[in-house]
Structure 1
Amino acid sequence: MNEVSAIELFLQAGIVVKSVMIVLIFASIISWIIIFERYIFFRKANENRFIFEDKFWSGTDLNDLYSELDGLDVDLIGSTSVFKNSFKEFKRISNRGRLTDMDLEGLNRSMRVSIARDEEDMNKNLSILANIGSVSPYIGLFGTVWGIMGSFQGLSDATQATINAVAPGISEALIATAMGLFAAIPAVIAFNRFTSKADSYLQTTTIFAEELASIFYRESVKQKDDL
């Protein structure tokens, strides 16, 4: 079926089937907008994480690294966000004196809050993809059933029952199912892919937070030994 015949089927379809097709086209457009936005988001997030962690583990002064991040006018995410928020709290506490167990717990809580916010950012709009992926086939099926019902209704009114009498109506109806799958399949694939990326990214961020907490703990032990 070429593009022209598909357009012709759409124009010849009844109002209900045509409405179903319009809804599915709209859902597909929304799905692809989210897919491209999430793709760019995860690509930038990974690039920034690699750059930051290379600097962090290179032995650079953490105060200089914090100052560099603090001067950026962008929303940070992942290990950069965890480091900036927790190190800011660490500096504030250190200026007050030696670190206590309560201070360390406060730093850990700050990191957990950052990770929770990252999780919210990572999963942004993914529920929309999930809904499009799960609902679109049923919307398309509804359009197909409605169109086939109309075809057989027309067949009952015809003087001669032939396949040519119902074929156009059935073709119009089946294209609704095809459009439902066209909207659903990319949404489901993208949802699974981005969910996996988010889980992997958050796991990496959690590991970094634990390593950073160990650094803060060693610093607290060092301060106690210096007393």
Structure 2
Amino acid sequence: MAGIDIFLNYFSRSSFVTIFVLLWLSIYLVVSFTILFSRMAGLSAKQSKEQSTLESLLMGAKNLPNDSVFKKCTISNVSKEKLNIYLSMAEKNATSGLVWLSIIASTSPFIGLFGTVISILETFSGLGSGSSASLNVIAPAISEALVATGAGIFVAIPAYTFNLLIKRKAYELMGILQRQADLLIAMKDEF
């Protein structure tokens, strides 16, 4: 109960800008986790399918499964240009969401800092209107103002980490697809 009272007390003393900043950062945090879970699940499934496709090609299969990126290619009509187009499309799909994670990771600290600056300005403005300017008055207000900066950093760290995790997973998938493309070209040359 004490935690809820502290939380409610903080929001009752906070300005509209501080609450808006914290809400904005909360949305950023939810978006970051949503991108992570959706992209990692999709990329893992795709990577597994493409790895089995690569293994079947290495074992001598002549047809690609319907869930492969290169499903519309056949050994007889494959070309380097066609494969590059499929690779580009697959890379675009694999890296979707990374821009948003980059935006969140880079802007969250600034949004938090903005909330802190506004709170500090309001604190000093209140002090100028007749309150005593002792450390007992200023310290708690500045401490509460720094919550927004802490929240911004708290949101930026997972967003940056998620960006790197998804980028790595996309890189692994693209490596498998590149090996498939190389194998398809080699198989065409054998015919």
Scaled by the length of structure 2, the TM-score of the pair is 0.89
From 85, 88, 96, the equivalent of 1:124 is 96
Residues in 2 aligned to 1:119 and 1:160: alpha-carbon distance in whole angstroms: 61
From 63, 68, 87, the equivalent of 1:115 is 87
What amino acid is the match of 2:103? N
Determine the structure 1 residue equivalent to 2:72.
85
Inter-CA distance 193–10: structure 2 relative to 1 (3 Å threshold):
same
CA contact (8 A) 1:21 1:176 kept: yes
Scaled by the length of structure 1, the TM-score of the pair is 0.76
CA contact (8 A) 1:150 1:169 kept: no
Task: For residue 124 of structure 1, give the secondary structure of its aligned residue in structure 2.
Answer: coil
What amino acid is the match of 2:13? Q
Gaps of 5+ in 1: 71-75, 94-103, 220-227
CA contact (8 A) 2:54 2:180 kept: no
Determine the structure 1 residue equivalent to 2:146.
174
Does residue 163 of structure 1 match 2:150?
no
Moved over 4 A (4+): none
Give the Å deviation of 1:7. Answer: 4.6
Residues in 1 aligned to 2:30 and 2:12: alpha-carbon distance in whole angstroms: 20
Shifted more, 107-116 versus 196-205: the winner is 196-205
Shifted more, 15-24 versus 45-54: the winner is 45-54
Determine the structure 2 residue equivalent to 1:25.
26
Q: Deviations over 1:21-67 (max 9, x none)?
A: 1111111111111111111112112221232223222334x24xx4x
Residues in 2 aligned to 1:177 and 1:86: alpha-carbon distance in whole angstroms: 52
What amino acid is the match of 1:81? V
Determine the structure 2 residue equivalent to 1:100.
none
Give the Å deviation of 1:159. Answer: 4.1
Q: Deviations over 1:122-176 (max 9, x none)?
A: 1111100000000010000010011011111112223422223223422331110
Determine the structure 2 residue equivalent to 1:224.
none
Task: For residue 55 of structure 2, give the secondary structure of its aligned residue in structure 1.
Answer: helix
What amino acid is the match of 1:166? I
Q: How does 1:36-47 map to 2 (within 5 A)?
A: 36-47=37-48
CA contact (8 A) 1:133 1:184 kept: yes
Inter-CA distance 3–185: structure 2 relative to 1 (3 Å threshold):
farther
How many pairs are equivalent? 189
CA contact (8 A) 1:111 1:209 kept: yes
Residues in 2 aligned to 1:138 and 1:3: alpha-carbon distance in whole angstroms: 27
What amino acid is the match of 1:86? C
Give the superposed CA RMSD.
Answer: 2.0
Inter-CA distance 55–138: structure 2 relative to 1 (3 Å threshold):
same
Determine the structure 2 residue equivalent to 1:195.
167
Inter-CA distance 194–3: structure 2 relative to 1 (3 Å threshold):
farther
Residues in 1 aligned to 2:12 and 2:55: alpha-carbon distance in whole angstroms: 57
Determine the structure 2 residue equivalent to 1:209.
181
